[in-house]
Amino acid sequence: MLECLIVGDSIAVGTHQFRQECALAGKGGINSRQFNKNYAQKIEPAETVIISLGSNDHDGVNTFKELLAMRERIEGKRVFWIMPAIKPHIQDMVEIIARNFGDTVLPITRLQPDKVHPSWAGYKDIAAKTK
């Protein structure tokens, strides 16, 4: 079992910069459907799992279905979701899935000017809350 795994999009990649001891399964710009396609194999179990997906989803993605399918493949003692800073309807989906699995949701409290990605201080906050 891994100690720590980060999965998802560019926010996951940025989080990995502050939690380099964690394994990373993800890449910038990926949406939840692409994630499930590219990482279709079983995701390795981990003590701590940090998820960031949904920010890149568009109307052609069945976000709830894709996030749920991804979460059902996750095995972790502690699972954290980084709440997308945009798209309130996707935020609601993340909340529902996280609650049903007993996961912790972390809002992005400090943003870069793009209003999507955490600032460096925001990434440090996320890293500290997931240790």
Write out 13-42 in H/E/C secondary structure: HHHHHHCCCCEEEECCCCCHHHHHHHCCCC
Q: Quote the CA–CA distance of 70 and 63 in Å, as a whole number.
A: 10
State which residues form the domain around 76: 2-129
Q: How many residues does the chain have?
A: 131
pLDDT given for residue 52 in this prediction: 98
Of 9-13, 16-20, 37-41, 88-92, the range with the lowest mean pLDDT is 37-41
DSSP code of residue 130: T
pLDDT in tens, 17-70: 999 999 999 999 999 999 999 998 878 999 999 999 999 999 999 999 999 999
Measured in whole angstroms, the distance separating CA 13 from the mean position of its chain's CA atoms is: 10
SS3 47: strand
pLDDT given for residue 41 in this prediction: 81
CA-based R_g, the chain, Å: 13
Which residues are bridge partners to 68 per DSSP? none
pLDDT given for residue 9 in this prediction: 98
User: Which residue in 47, 33, 35 sits closest to 9, CA to CA?
Assistant: 35
Identity of the residue numbered 8: G
pTM of the predicted structure, to 2 decimals: 0.97
CATH number where 72 lies:
3.40.50.1110
pLDDT given for residue 42 in this prediction: 73
Instruction: Please tell me the total count of domains within the chain.
Output: 1
What mean pLDDT, rounded, does the chain reach? 96
